[in-house]
Amino acid sequence: MKIKKILVTGGTGGIGSSIVACLSAQPGFVVHAPSRSELDLGLQESIKEYFSRSSDYDIVINNAGINTPQNIEQIETEQIETALNINLVAPLLVIKYCVPHMKRQGFGRIVNVSSIWGIRSKERRTLYSATKFGLNGMTRSLARELGPFNILVNSICPGYVDTALTRKNVTPKEQEKIRQEIPLRRFAEPREIAESIAFLVSERNSYMTGQTLIVDGGFIA
Ligand SMILES: NC(=O)c1ccc[n+]([C@@H]2O[C@H](COP(=O)([O-])OP(=O)(O)OC[C@H]3O[C@@H](n4cnc5c(N)ncnc54)[C@H](OP(=O)(O)O)[C@@H]3O)[C@@H](O)[C@H]2O)c1
The pLDDT of residue 142 is 99
All domains of the chain in start order, with CATH: 4-215 (3.40.50.720)
Of 145, 218, 220, nearest to 185 by C-alpha is: 218
Burial of 23-36, coded b for 16+ CB within 10 Å and e otherwise, reads: beeeeebebebbee
Closest ligand 1 atom to residue 46 Cα is: 32
The reply to whether 128 belongs to the active site is: yes
Question: What is the model's pLDDT at position 27?
Answer: 94
48 CA to centre of ligand 1 in angstroms:
20
Predicted confidence at residue 1, as pLDDT, reads: 72
SS3 state at 95: helix
User: Best mutation site among 7, 8, 9, 12 for ligand 1, i.e. most ligand atoms within 8 A of its Cβ?
Assistant: 12
Residue nearest (by alpha carbon) to ligand 1 atom 13: 15
CA of 61 to the centre of ligand 1 (A): 12
Question: Which residue among the candidates 57, 128, 160, 207 is catalytic per the annotation?
Answer: 128
SS3 label, residue 17: helix
pLDDT along the chain (221 residues), means of 10: 94 98 97 98 98 97 97 97 98 98 98 98 97 98 98 98 93 96 98 98 96 98 96
Whole-angstrom Cα distance, residue 50 to residue 46?
6
> Cβ < 6 Å from ligand 1: which residues?
10, 12-16, 36, 40-42, 63-67, 86, 113, 115, 158, 160-161, 163-166
Cα–Cα dist 193/74, whole Å: 32
